[in-house]
A = this chain, B = another copy of it.
Amino acid sequence: MKARVVVTLRNGILDPQGKAIEGALKALHVNGIKSVRQGKIFDVELDAADHGAAEAVLREACEKLLANQVVEDYQVEIP
């Protein structure tokens, strides 16, 4: 089973990397970009009996390792 985990910074948490990308795009004359916030994705292949079991494993992975819940949110996407 394939799934995708998306980890993004919580609203209100500063994202200096995103700000740097905004500045770089402006310097490269890419116009119309108002803001950029960077996040991470994890494309995971896993063995699970069903959708619910897969989601439980992925939530455990996020809580133990993939996301720092003090400053990050995560979403689990199972197609």
A interface, CB within 8 angstroms of B: 6, 8, 18, 21, 24-25, 28, 30-48, 53-54, 57, 60-61, 64-66
Contacts and interface: CB of A to CB of B under 8 A. Distances in A.
**How many copies of the shown chain assemble into the complex?**
2
B44 A41 contact: no
B36 A44 contact: yes
Nearest to A47: B32
A6 to B, nearest CB: 6
A45 B25 CA distance: 13
**CB-based closest 8 A-B pairs:** A34-B45, A39-B41, A35-B45, A37-B43, A32-B47, A30-B61, A28-B64, A32-B46
A41 B43 contact: no
